[in-house]
Every structure is written in structure tokens, then in C-alpha cells.
Structure 1
Amino acid sequence: MTVSRSRSSSVTGVSHQLRLVARLDRVRLPLWVLGLGGTIAVSALAVPPLYDTPEKVAGYARVVGTSPVSHLMSGRQAGIDSLGGIVANEISQFAQLGVCLMVAFLVVRHTRAEEESGRAELLRSTVLGRHAATVAGLAYGVLAAVLIAAVTTVSMLSVGLPVAGSLTYGAGLALLGVVHTAVTLVAVQLSSTARGALGLAGAVIALGYVVRGVGAVQDNALVWASPFGWAQRMDAFGGEQWWPALLLLAATALLLAASGWLMTRRDFGGGVLAARPGRATARRGLATPFGLSARLRRGTALGWAVGLTLLGALYGAVVPSIPELVESNPEMADVVGAAAGGEALVDAFLAYIFLFMAVVSCGFAVSAVLRLRTEEEAGRAELVLGTPVHRSAWLGATAAFTFLVTAVLTVLMGAGLAVGYALGSGDWDHLTGHVGGQVAYLPGTLVVGAVAVALHGAVPRAGALAWALLAYVAVQVMLGELLGLPDWVEAVSPYSHLAEVPRESWEAWPSLALVVVAAALTAAGIAGFRRRDIASG
């Protein structure tokens, strides 16, 4: 009887923990569902009109279905010679990576981050069971993944795609999210910090994605070494098979068992992997606010640098195949507003890729700035500001480091795209032009980052609005033409005021104006930060 009570008490309070999570994320979860799910839905709705004839479908299957770059990015989608297969292939990269990253962020936020801040210890001092937070995190991650999968399935059904294929794709997407929820729970037990747990979970996501891509390119059994491959081999829209779902469920069960076992072998608040001891004396650079900001964000900056450079190289390798793809479906040229052929078509697609990658880099700018909120709530900001460091220097140094790294990321994206394009086409004469084309969009990225600075400085609780602006800009970039947004709505995006390089000639005055706007927003944020109270959690 004692053993039975012990087992039952380990999950005592799960329902209360879930209600607390729902209360804390009453805005965050809907934003994820609207942002990620909405983008998937609009993308699914936008694809069918582009492939409304058998000839266009066949052309897509011939070009994209045999492209090594497409296989690397999206795997080998079943039924690629059908409309359902095309829709699944077009949304897979964004949907699969998106759902995995979403559950990682959400689960870490309500498990490891709560322990790191000390709030979980307060809850554990009540009747909350040892595994209650883990079980609540699992349930929350599963719920989020199922919501995204439901939105995706309904979107597919709404455009008339087969029911079996739509349900199979949605189930695979949900199970992929569930697996990575369990992966994140293991990472939470291994690392003693939220950043470390996110890093481990993100590394597993990246590894699985790359392994599936390499296996798809080589068309061998390597795809079976990745959960991404298992979800895709459920063959939605291509002779559906459900037995790979058993692999996803089995992996989830094993990972959850490992998470529970690891939790019993670590101290509360600590991780299985011991933290590396620091230096006996600090480096001289840490004596400055800029040096401290760089030290806190160097790992994140390095990860973004590697990821965005590779992303640029992948997109650059795709560009040479664009003319052949558009030749089989001239309406695709209308999406980017170019003639169906010639150099103008390539320039139009390059402009779209430059803009898309610029928007992606905004993610680093916003996250780097809003991390200051975590520093405040954890009490670490007060320790720094208790020294001779001025508030203006503290926030200004973070803004300066963020903008500097954002500029470096922009150059790296352009360089990656240039190299990928050169390798794909054999033309090495456009390296400088491609880097310059990417840099032309940097002022827009700086404005988005400056909005995050202004919000954190003046109204820190409204920091999520910076993410909302990023989500809007992403939707406007990818689907603005299809949505037919009014001019005044499009004008909210800073990128709408820039020339579409290389399709259009670069203009100095709009770029300079956006830089001035970014500087003004940054100054407003610093001024607001000097006047408000410091959050202490």
C-alpha cells in the first residue's frame, strides 16, 4: 500500500499544473497556433490554384520530384504526382520543423525554465508530485502538436484533398511533435539550464532533419533513422500506410521512460550533465556591458550563423532550377510578379528569397533582445545594475550586440546563397551581387529588432508584440500577393518600403529612413528603460 501511495503521489497535482500552464500561456499558445497553423493553412490553400491542370501537376513531379535539393529540404514525398502530394511537399519543411520547434520552446518554458527561476521549487513545496510538472509538460506539448495537426488537416480537407491522405498527413505531423515533446523532456533532465535544454532539443531536431534529407537524396534506408522519415513514410496521398506510426509511438514511450529514469537520478534544479566549471578569473571583456551581452548570447549567435548560412546555401542551390519549373507552370511566375522566363524571372525569385531570409533573421534579433526580460525576472539584471553599470549602457550594449550580429548574419546568408547558387549553376560571377542583395534588406530587419528594444524598454509585458510583428511580416512576405492586403496594411512591414533587390534598383533614401527609425525606436526603448521599475519575477 505504501508503494501504491508513493506512485500515485508522484503525479499529484497534474490537473492544477495544467491549469497554471494554460493561465500563463493564454496568449502564447494562441499566437503559436495562429502563427504556425495559420501560415500552414494559408499555404495549403494557396497551392491548389497553381496546379489546376494535369500538365502542371506532371511538370511539378518531373522537376521537383527529381530534385536533390528538394529531397534534402523536404524528403521524398509520396504521391508527388498528385495535388495532395504537392501540397504536402510544399508545406512539409515549414510544418515539420515548426511543430518540433514549437513543442521544444513550450515544454522547456514550463519545465526547466521554471526550475531555473526557482518558481518550480515553490510549487514543489506544496503537494505537487515529483513528476507532475513533467507530465503536465508532456500533455501541453501533445496538445499543441495536435492543434497544429488539426489545423493542417482541416486546411487540406477544405481544398478538396482526399480524406485518407489528409488524416494520414495530420496524424504523422502530430506524432512527430509528440516524439519531440518527449525528446525535449529528456533534454530537460540532462541540462541544468533552459538554454542548454533548448540547445540539446534543437540539435536533435536538426540532426533528424539532416539525416532524413541525406537519406532522401541517396534514396536509401537512412531515412528510417529519423522521426522525420517515419512520419513521411506514412505515405500520405500515396497509398497510405499507418504502421510507421508505431515507430513514432514506440520512440515516444522509450524517451518518456528515459526522462522519468533520469529525473530520479538528478537533484531538483540541477541536470544529469554537470555544468562545466568556469574560469578562476573573468576575461577583461566581461567587465563591460557589451562584453557581458556578447558572452550571454554567443552560443545562440553561433547557432543562428550556422543555420542561416546553410539555409542560404540550400536556397541558392534551388534557384538555377527555377526556370525549368516555371516552364512547366507559367502561373508560378505571376506569384512573384515576373515574366515566365529570362533573367527577370531569376531576379524575382532571388528578391523573394532575400526577403524571406531577412525575415527569418528577425527571429534572432527579437529573441536576443527579449532575453533581457528573462534576466530581469531571474534577478540577474539587478545584480548587474547594482554595480556602476548604467541602465542606458545595459540595454544599449544588448541592442548594439544584437544589431551587429544581425548584420553579420545578413552577410553570411548572402554568402551562403551565393555559394549555393554558384555550385548549382557553375556561375561564380555573382558572389558580390548576391551578398549585396541580401544586405539591401538589412534596414528592415533592424527596425523589427528595434521594435523589440522599444517594447522591452518601455512596456516589457508587451514584448510578445514584437513576435506578433515578426509573424505578420512573415505572412505578408509569403502570402501578401495572394491575400491582397490593402496598401496601408502592407505598409506596417518595414520591408514594404525597400526596393525589391535585385528585381529593382537599390534606393538609398528608404534604407536610410528605416535606419533612422530603428535608431529612434532604440533611443525610445532606452529612455523608457531608464524610467521604469526593474522586474524581479
Structure 2
Amino acid sequence: MKNRFNQTSMLLAHILRRDLFKLLIWAVVLSVFSGGFASGIYEIYGDDSAGLMGLFDMMKNPAMIAMIGPTAAAAETYTVGAMYAHQMLLFTALLYAILSMLHVISTTRKEEDNGTAELLRAFPVGRLANTTAIVIEMLLLHAVIIVLSTGLLQVQNIPGMDFYSNLLFSASLGMQGILWGIISLIFAQLAANAGTARGLSFLTLGLFYIGRMMTDYNAPSLSWLNPLGWSYLGNVYVEDNWTPILIGFLASLLFLGLAYLLEQARDIGAGYLPERTHSPYARRSLLTLPGLLFSLQKTFIMCWLFALFLSGAMYGSIFADMDTFIGDNEMLQAMFVVEGGYTIQEQFMSVLFVVLSLLTAIFIVGSFMKLVAEEKKGRLDQLYATKLSRKTLYWQHVMLAGILGAGGQFSAILGLYLAQRSVMITPFSLWDMTVAGIVWLPAVLFFVGLLSLLIGWLPRLSVLIWVYVAFAFFISYFGQLLNFPAYVEGFNVFSYIPHIPLEEWKWGTTVFLILFTFLLTLAGFFGYSKRDLISDK
């Protein structure tokens, strides 16, 4: 048994040296993101009890519970700290989880695919040594993040946010990073390659997020069975319950043991899930470039279209509960029935499409990133050895991303429409819902233009598109809460889109965004057609 962990300390020292710069950036960014905005919120709401109570009433809306989870606070205990934890924990936990899963799979399963792990096994290195070193690295990283985040919250010296509660807030997020990193280890053993492992990990995370949407409002006790629920069920700054941390720790040990059992029983480079057997003869569709591109991304595309449809359907299913939520509450009626007689459903729908459009943007960015990903792996050399031109390949990827953007947006719209139609007495028409959702498409396609520019001129830095995606989400979600300056809001493409039906369609803005996106894409093409191919091999 000891031999299975042989040279773990040596591997740990190696990966810490290799990943040090990335881990330092990771630690600083996550610490600032999770704990750096508390003082800003306190300045806005600390002396505004009426505004805080209005926000408390709004957050009990079933739509908001579906998005960010419930709070155990009552009116008298809904402090700035309770509001900060309620707003931040779930979405920040998703960020911790995604980064952890990407890092773990990249340093385990992807290294097997690249042949690095096989070279290590040629030396007297234990079968479980590399996995153990990665787990220890994740533990050390999140321990540092917990310390930094707690310290950052502490130095802001906000009334009601003491050290004990600040530590629980940070530990809740750190445990989510560790837990989901270890969960991805299981998929790294089950899958046949790193791409499938990532897909299964993200699919599992998405299903658990959707699952807690159903339980948080209708059956809160069932949310204790959901790993994502452990991020906010500690009720930080209200009850300060450490039980979810203990459950997450025990679950992590259990999942790690399962990952060990799976890894030691399989061959290197192999997986437990069977791979599809293909015909020795190519289908006619594979003889065309569009058919080839679609075939390579078919599973990715189908999963995302289904996920977008399901996300829309889940949000649409709670439309009927909103009228019950308002009831006879005069304050809520004043908040949600605005000038012009718009209902709470119409207001929620206009905000909801920000979230759904951002998901569509992530979908098409992931698809378009395949162009530079395949280039880095050296697979485009074989294509360019034929008569295929860079112009054709580039614009085919752009066209595919555009089609997927429209398809993804409509998939979310259709899910939202069918779900609200099944629960509302007077549902929205498909046309009204399509207009409210399709207006966001120019902003979604803007991400393609921005990524085109990076791929064309700075291909090794194309991952920076994810920084802008995170920025757009953060400004869209926290912009009104933190009162960012207008010039900061101006960098967020979603801020230029009208919230239909509350606002009128801005044709000038729509045309400008489409033209600007085309110019970015064209500039990217000029760079792509002239530069050398890159390779990570």
C-alpha cells in the first residue's frame, strides 16, 4: 500500500513550483472576489434600513430563491452580512467549483492524454502519488484562500461581520472548491479522456444547480442532499452553522476514497465508461467541413442546447408562484408593479434573460474556442496540408458559433415559454417571449467578435475571453447592488441591451453592436490569415 504513494512529496514539490504563479493569481482573484466588496455594500445599505428591508422582501421572491438560494434570516436579522452571504455564496461557490474542476482534470486526466503521466510511471512513482499530490495542492491552495478571504473581510471592520462568521463564510467557499475538485477526480477515472471528464463534471454541477432550484423553494430539507446547498445552508451571519462544512469534509473523504479505488484498478490512459465504436467508413456528412465541425462538437452542442432549454423551463415553472408571493403585501406590490402596469413576471423575465443570455454566450465561446484548441494540439496541420484554406476554416467556425448562438437563445426561450404556459392562467405568447429574449442576441454574438480578435492576434491569450465573461456576469449581477460608476458599466456589453417589455427596442444600439461585432471578427480574420500556427506540443 505504501508503494502506491511513493514519491508523493517529490511530485508535490514539483507541481507547486510549476503552478506557483497560476496559484498565486488564483488565490488573490478568488479572495478579492469573495471578500472584497463587503465594505462597498455596507456603505450603500449600512444606514438604509428601509432599503435593506425592501431587498429582504424581494429576495423571498421564488424567482430569486431559484437563482441564489434561500436565507434563514428574518426581517430583524437580515443585516448587511446576511445579505452579503445570501447574494454571494452560491454564485461564488460555482466559480470555485469550476476553477477547481478545470485545474484537477488538467493536471490528472489531461496529463494522461498527453503522455506525461506515462513518463512518470516509468520511474519508481506510486500509482496514486500524482493524484495525492494534486489533492494536497488543492488543500493548500484553498487554505490560503480561506486565510486571505477571512483577513480581507476582517480588515473592512463591518459591524455584525465578526471573525467567527467571516471564517465560516470563507470556509464554506473553500470547501466547495475542494469538494468539487475531488468529485472531478472521479470523472477523471471514469472517462476515456480529459474532454469527456470535463463534460461530465460540468454536467453534474449543472444538474445539482438545477436540482437545488427545485428543492430550495418547495422542499428546503432536501437541499441538504445537494453538495451545492452546503455552500449556503450554514446560514452565515445568521445562525453560523458549521454542519455543512463537516458534511462537505466527510463527503470529500468518501469521494477521494472512491477515486483512489477507481484509479488503482484501471490502466493508465483507459477509462471505465465504454467508448463508442465507429464505422470504418465515413458518413457523407463527414466529407464536408461543416459536417466535420458539427460531428466533432455534436455531444457538446446537444448537451448545451438541452441545458439551456432546461434552465429556461426551470425558471418558467415558478412564474405562477410570483403572484402568490406578492399577495396582499403593499410594499411588494409597490416594488414590482411599476409605471405602465408591468407585472412581476414581466420584470423578472426581463432580468432573467441576462442570465440565460450569459449562458448562451458561454456556450458559443466554448464552441469557437475549439478552433484555437485544435490548433494548439497540432491537428490543423493535417487539414491545412490539403486544399483547405484558413479563410474557409475560420469563417466556418464563425458561422457555426453564430448559428449556435441563435439556437441556444431560442432553446432557452422555448423552455421558458413552455414551462410558464403550463403553470400560468394567462401565459405570455411565444412571440412576446421571443422578442424579449432575441434582443439579447447581438450582445451574445459580441463575445464571438471579441474572441475572434484574440484568436487572430493573440492566440495564446485567447483564454482571456473568460475574464470578460466573468466581468460581464459580475457587472450584470452586482452592478445595481454595488453602484458601479457609469464608465465601468459601459464596458459590459449587456448594459446596452433594452429590458423588453419594460423598455423599447433600441434599433440603433442593435445595429451598432452587430456592425462592431462584424468588424472585430473581420480584424480577427486578418490576423489569423497572416500569423504562424501555434502548438503546445
* Alignment TM class, shorter chain as reference: 0.7 to 0.9
Helix, strand or coil for the counterpart of 1:78? Answer: coil
Other-structure match for 1:21: 19
Asked if 1:172 corresponds to 2:172, the answer is yes
Q: Aligned partner of 1:294: which letter?
A: F
Offset at 1:85?
A: 3.5
Q: Aligned partner of 1:18: which letter?
A: L
Offset at 1:4?
A: 5.0
| Cα distance per residue 1:91-135 (max 9 Å; x no partner) | 233123222222112211222122223344445556765434323
CA distance in 2, matches of 1:140, 1:6: 18
Q: How many residues align?
A: 527
Among 82, 85, 91, the alignment partner of 2:82 is 85
Offset at 1:184?
A: 0.8
Other-structure match for 1:311: 311
Offset at 1:145?
A: 4.5
Asked if 1:98 corresponds to 2:92, the answer is no
Change (3 A) 1:353 1:115: same
Offset at 1:256?
A: 1.2
Change (3 A) 1:275 1:243: same
Unpaired runs of at least 5, structure 1: none
Mean CA deviation greater in 418-427 or 253-262 = 418-427
CA distance in 1, matches of 2:4, 2:106: 27
Other-structure match for 1:302: 302
Q: Aligned partner of 2:361: which letter?
A: C
Offset at 1:206?
A: 3.1
Among 115, 119, 127, the alignment partner of 1:118 is 115
Equivalent runs, 1:299-378 vs 2, <5 Å = 299-316=299-316, 321=322, 324=326, 328=331, 339=338, 342-343=341-342, 349-378=348-377
Offset at 1:284?
A: 1.6
Change (3 A) 1:343 1:498: same
Asked if 1:134 corresponds to 2:137, the answer is no
Offset at 1:439?
A: 0.8
Other-structure match for 2:293: 293
Other-structure match for 1:399: 398
Mean CA deviation greater in 54-63 or 273-282 = 54-63
TM-score (norm. length: structure 1): 0.85
Asked if 1:107 corresponds to 2:130, the answer is no
Q: Is the 8 A contact 2:365 2:451 kept in 1?
A: yes
Offset at 1:318?
A: 5.8
Q: Is the 8 A contact 1:100 1:177 kept in 2?
A: yes
| Cα distance per residue 1:283-308 (max 9 Å; x no partner) | 22122222222122222222222332
CA distance in 2, matches of 1:318, 1:152: 35
CA distance in 1, matches of 2:384, 2:22: 28
Q: Is the 8 A contact 2:213 2:314 kept in 1?
A: no
Change (3 A) 1:227 1:47: farther
Equivalent runs, 1:254-269 vs 2, <5 Å = 254-269=254-269
CA distance in 2, matches of 1:55, 1:509: 38
Q: Is the 8 A contact 1:45 1:155 kept in 2?
A: no
Q: Aligned partner of 2:286: which letter?
A: L
Helix, strand or coil for the counterpart of 2:10? Answer: coil
Equivalent runs, 1:469-480 vs 2, <5 Å = 469-480=468-479
Q: Aligned partner of 1:384: which letter?
A: L
| Cα distance per residue 1:395-444 (max 9 Å; x no partner) | 22222111111111111223333345545643224431121121112112
Offset at 1:460?
A: 0.3
Mean CA deviation greater in 133-142 or 524-533 = 133-142
CA distance in 1, matches of 2:530, 2:362: 27
CA distance in 1, matches of 2:110, 2:492: 32
Helix, strand or coil for the counterpart of 1:328? Answer: helix
Helix, strand or coil for the counterpart of 1:13? Answer: helix
Offset at 1:238?
A: 3.6
| Cα distance per residue 1:311-348 (max 9 Å; x no partner) | 33444456673994995379978xxxx95783287655
Offset at 1:494?
A: 3.5
CA distance in 2, matches of 1:48, 1:310: 38
- Fraction of identical pairs, as percent: 24
Offset at 1:187?
A: 1.0
Q: Is the 8 A contact 2:72 2:235 kept in 1?
A: yes
Q: Aligned partner of 2:291: which letter?
A: G
| Cα distance per residue 1:374-402 (max 9 Å; x no partner) | 21222222223233322222222222111
Q: Is the 8 A contact 1:13 1:129 kept in 2?
A: no
Mean CA deviation greater in 68-77 or 196-205 = 68-77
Helix, strand or coil for the counterpart of 2:180? Answer: helix
Unpaired runs of at least 5, structure 2: none
Other-structure match for 2:181: 181
Change (3 A) 1:143 1:213: farther
Asked if 1:12 corresponds to 2:6, the answer is no
Q: Is the 8 A contact 2:6 2:125 kept in 1?
A: no
Offset at 1:372?
A: 2.4
CA distance in 1, matches of 2:4, 2:428: 70
Helix, strand or coil for the counterpart of 2:491? Answer: coil
Change (3 A) 1:205 1:475: closer
Q: Is the 8 A contact 2:90 2:228 kept in 1?
A: no
CA distance in 1, matches of 2:221, 2:248: 17
Mean CA deviation greater in 462-471 or 352-361 = 352-361
Other-structure match for 1:521: 520
Mean CA deviation greater in 284-293 or 199-208 = 199-208
CA distance in 1, matches of 2:205, 2:489: 34
Q: Is the 8 A contact 2:498 2:505 kept in 1?
A: yes
Q: Is the 8 A contact 1:40 1:95 kept in 2?
A: no
Helix, strand or coil for the counterpart of 2:342? Answer: helix
Change (3 A) 1:425 1:115: same
TM-score (norm. length: structure 2): 0.85
CA distance in 2, matches of 1:473, 1:249: 33
Other-structure match for 2:434: 435
Change (3 A) 1:185 1:102: same
CA distance in 2, matches of 1:316, 1:43: 32
Other-structure match for 2:533: 534
Q: Is the 8 A contact 2:63 2:348 kept in 1?
A: no
Equivalent runs, 1:411-430 vs 2, <5 Å = 411-422=410-421, 425-430=424-429
CA distance in 1, matches of 2:359, 2:34: 14
Offset at 1:197?
A: 0.7
CA distance in 2, matches of 1:154, 1:422: 49
